[in-house]
Structure 1
Amino acid sequence: MASDTLRFVRKYWPLFLEFTITLVAQRIKAFTHRFTYHLLPTCKNVVVLGGSFSGAFLARRLGESLPSGYKVILIEKNSHFNFCFNFPRYSVVQGHEQNAFIPYDGLASGTPAGIFEIIRDTATGIRDEEVELASGKRIPFAYLAVATGALQPPPARLLSSEKNEACAELKALQDRIIGGKKIGIIGGGAVGVQLAGDIKSFYPDKHVVLIHSRDQLLPSFGVRLHKYVVDKLQDLGVELMLGERPAIPSTGDGTGTDLVFPDGRKETFDVIVPCIGQIPNSSILDGFSPSSISPQTRRILVESTLQLRNGEDPKSRELHNVFALGDVAETDGYRMARSGAMQAEVVRGNIIALINDKELEKYSPIAAEGGLKLSLGKDEYVMYVQDPDGTDFLIPGKSSKVDLEVEKGWKMFGAKFKKTSV
């Protein structure tokens, strides 16, 4: 493993150096921007739909760089930013759930007065250069970026848009796990793996079964990671059922439920937690540009510049001022927060390029965007990166923070951390 660390550093240090230089340059430009920007009475709107990772990154960077005469409006239904990386851990460990919800106010910190506006509402439609909201309001836009992400069942995503109610969802799952003896986790992606490892390491007396439809856990990554994770989960005592696809019943609170497997056998669990399924949240385009939605994946089709692609009909409307990014967009990139941040920077640059009649940049993903940091129980993690040529890097580590260093997430979004754990 030590050799992986050295190989990783040798290969990626130029990229880290370039990133550091770019970040410093961004900070300098953001600082000077506060003194050169002027809020005009007739500002045009750059609207961002969705305040998860991609949308939040984009809105903040636009607030740091839009020229005078433009302002950014972030439209988001949630009361707080959901730091969903930590949801699996906070579904198991009590007393930390409040820390997963970060105030949006910090996104505007350091930006010129008046350039940044957050509207808490739900977008219901797009037409005639306007976004229609559930409240009945219409928000005109000169440029629009769709970053509405994807829908997933709890605990990957939560149902409530209110912080207190979302915390209650996590607490309810904590209580179910504490009260259950045999717990079934369905889905061997990152959420399922982390949830299974956390339950077994914090509550070693539980019988935890991780059920996955394929023979490989984390199938979006290399076999080497699968083998490493299988060993760690088995060391913890997690039972693995690979290549199994049971019917998932609808049982309300998910307790006392039988799973029926394809061969007809049944197994009874006290708690069942589905960790499968990701549905792109692209319905906002159904009435605006339906040909921009992939019929196969339901993701939004985009050009290499991340502008909407609207099919082959030459009579289709011009969509040069509408972009899509993040999990909802059909790109060659990874479906990771890091990719969302990279795409956000491309969209930001291209909106400003359109304003200034400059050439647009193309998004070209790099392997580092697909890097994964996966917790494996309460005190271990593994980092994994795979290059397109199949070369991979697997770097294990130890973690001493039960809250998974959530304070870094608060800092990332400009918020002052308020520790509420018990």
Structure 2
Amino acid sequence: MNETVVVVGGGYGGAAVAAALDEHADVVLVEPKDAFVHSAGALRALVRPDWAPNMFFRYDRLLTRGRVVRARAASVDAGGVTLESGERIEAGHIVLASGSGYPYPAKMRTDVADEALAQLRGTHEELAKAGRVLITGAGPVGLELAGEIKAVWPDKRVTVVDPAERLVPAFADEMRADLHRQLDERGIEVRLGTALSEPPPVEPGRARTFTVDGITADIWFRAHGVAVQTSYLGADLAAARTPEGRIRVTETLNVEGFPNVYALGDVTDLDEAKMAGYAMKHAEVVAANIAARVRGEEPAATYAPSPIPSVLLPLGPDRGVGQFPGPDGPLVVSAETVADYKGRDLFVGRFAELFKTAEPLSAPLPEPSAEPLPQPPSEPSAEPTAEPVDVG
């Protein structure tokens, strides 16, 4: 059997599964970006450009035996991957980890890290000039963006609008009440049941005063609208795609009907929020099953979404809300716990370890805590890729 594993996409799940399989097979990671983007840090990078390099990590140390091919997949079938250049990589095992797109600044608009940093600096300058900020979308991405803005500029007026009648409706009432309290304390105005009749007459992230539906602002950002990236699937694999573009998977995370093809992260049709932490848990299952196949064993690792959703939603470095599955139902955690687990460093140290580097792209890491924190029951790292009602 061809023991080559081709991983399509080097985001959270793709990078994790490639690293886990490096000692078991010939791994080829296909990724168009020149550096891994820790998207959970994007909103802080916007408000603190001095911190922004912490969200980029080079791929050059991720694999010891395998290789990273900087390219985009044009077509993927059960036998291999054809790149946009026309090069063909035959594979015995394929992992679909291409993720999804999301509006800037939660996701970058370029595959080049230096260009992304320049764009973030430019948008930061625009935001710094604006006294009134409008955010459309009151899901975790929009709320986290509002919290980051207020943490740096407490005097800015921040308004978040969303057509939904409740914030984060999938989560416990206790967490929701704490969220409302902290938003009020930060002076963040949330208008629920509100949909703009038309988009603002200026592009997002550009400072220019406007009024729409009675709301006057100097800049706005869109925090909704996920786009699943599965258009590259060949005719055979496309049969497993849902009308929404996601990929149907089995409990072993195989693409339905294909024992040698797996999918993880945002592209799957699993009934759970699309978050980085879940993608990395998927990666553990996929890596275990491919390693078993390489050894000639029957894959046995399975994955099932938790019926209790999880989230760590910072509202700046020192505030936020969170929920984990507990033995008796949802376990709501304090703002201090959210800050300790995620808010202060946004898991940067964890990815420095994954990418085997003492520092990210060009800036020192935050100082580690004096005492290691215990691991929560489930630790979803908030990759901002979901719709406003999801945990992104």
- Say if 1:300 and 1:231 are closer, same or farther in 2 by CA, change over 3 A: same
| Cα drift, residue 251 of structure 1 | 2.9
| Cα drift, residue 88 of structure 1 | 0.8
CA distance in 2, matches of 1:322, 1:75: 15
CA distance in 2, matches of 1:338, 1:136: 34
Contact 2:132 2:218 in 1 (8 A): yes
Which residue type is aligned with residue 246 of structure 2?
Answer: R
Instruction: Determine if the alignment matches structure 1 residue 45 to structure 2 residue 1.
Output: no
Aligned to 1:413: 355
CA RMSD of aligned residues (A): 2.6
Aligned to 1:138: 88
- Say if 1:190 and 1:413 are closer, same or farther in 2 by CA, change over 3 A: farther
Contact 1:47 1:73 in 2 (8 A): yes
Aligned to 1:256: 208
Aligned to 2:228: 280
Aligned to 1:308: 255
- 2:256 partner SS: coil
Which residue type is aligned with residue 355 of structure 2?
Answer: F
CA distance in 1, matches of 2:104, 2:46: 9
- Say if 1:77 and 1:94 are closer, same or farther in 2 by CA, change over 3 A: same
- 2:274 partner SS: coil
CA distance in 1, matches of 2:333, 2:116: 34
CA distance in 2, matches of 1:369, 1:404: 23
* TM-superposition CA deviations, 1:203-254 (whole Å, max 9, x none): 1221111112212223343332222111101101111111112133473354
More helix by share: 1
- 1:283 partner SS: coil
CA distance in 2, matches of 1:211, 1:409: 33
| Cα drift, residue 380 of structure 1 | 2.1
| Cα drift, residue 405 of structure 1 | 5.7
Contact 1:293 1:301 in 2 (8 A): yes
- Say if 1:250 and 1:145 are closer, same or farther in 2 by CA, change over 3 A: farther
Unaligned runs of 5+ in 1: 1-41, 311-318
Aligned to 1:129: 79
CA distance in 2, matches of 1:365, 1:413: 28
Rg bigger for which structure? 1
Contact 1:334 1:369 in 2 (8 A): no
Instruction: Determine if the alignment matches structure 1 residue 91 to structure 2 residue 46.
Output: yes
Q: Normalising by structure 2, what TM-score?
A: 0.84
Number of residues paired by the alignment? 359
Instruction: Determine if the alignment matches structure 1 residue 55 to structure 2 residue 14.
Output: yes
- 1:161 partner SS: coil
5 Å-filtered alignment, 1:5-404, equals: 44-64=3-23, 66=24, 70-108=25-63, 111=64, 115-127=65-77, 129-246=79-196, 247-249=198-200, 251-252=202-203, 253-256=205-208, 258=210, 260=212, 265-285=213-233, 287-295=235-243, 297-309=244-256, 319-365=258-304, 367=306, 370-386=309-325, 390-397=329-336, 399=339, 404=346
- Aligned residues: percent identity? 29
Which residue type is aligned with residue 267 of structure 1?
Answer: I
- 1:198 partner SS: helix
- 1:105 partner SS: coil
Which residue type is aligned with residue 316 of structure 2?
Answer: G
| Cα drift, residue 182 of structure 1 | 0.8
| Cα drift, residue 331 of structure 1 | 1.9
CA distance in 1, matches of 2:216, 2:42: 25
- 1:107 partner SS: coil
CA distance in 2, matches of 1:166, 1:388: 42
Higher relative contact order at CA 8 Å, sep ≥6: structure 1 or structure 2? 2
Contact 1:326 1:335 in 2 (8 A): yes
- Say if 1:250 and 1:137 are closer, same or farther in 2 by CA, change over 3 A: farther
- 2:283 partner SS: helix
Which residue type is aligned with residue 256 of structure 1?
Answer: R
Contact 1:411 1:417 in 2 (8 A): no
| Cα drift, residue 396 of structure 1 | 2.3
